[in-house]
A = this chain, B = another copy of it.
């Protein structure tokens, strides 16, 4: 499928604006990034959703939800490797040239181990609180910057709920 150049440019721009607004960054290598965006648009046309261009989608949406871009693995990969699996998203350190890009190993579990949503938090997930604005999120590591107030990662603390938030049973 051939992607219209104007549509490609606009999608790239929108992705970039959304990324920056949330404290994320697209890879500044424009050629690389445009190639990935083209792959996203191709998958959008083929499957009806923008599956990760660097993985093989099944075409069954409920089996591919975790690899719809941005995938469930982007943020842990940004924390650990400085980039997502495709290197479409990169961390501050990579953007600033303080860290080199490297191959990112596949973090997605084999299909049989993929967790169905269950009534408990996945292993490794913790509650984090921004000490500046009180933003709460549930992740393995805190985000690079607070999406609300833009404070940096080191302003987050692991959070234990105040007893006032716990229902009396």
Question: Which A positions have Cβ atoms within 8 angstroms of B?
Answer: 18, 21-22, 24, 61, 65-66, 68, 70-72, 74-75, 117, 119-121, 125-129, 131-139, 143, 147-152, 154-155, 157-169
Contact = CB atoms under 8 A, between A and B. Distances in A.
A47 B145 CA distance: 20
B139 A24 contact: no
A102 to B, nearest CB: 23
This chain's copy number in the assembly = 3
Contacts of A119: 158, 160, 164, 168
B158 A167 contact: no
Contacts of A24: 149
Contacts of A137: 133-136
20 contacts: A22-B149, A70-B133, A71-B132, A72-B131, A74-B132, A117-B157, A117-B158, A119-B164, A120-B160, A125-B162, A127-B165, A128-B134, A133-B139, A133-B143, A133-B147, A134-B139, A136-B137, A160-B166, A163-B169, A166-B167
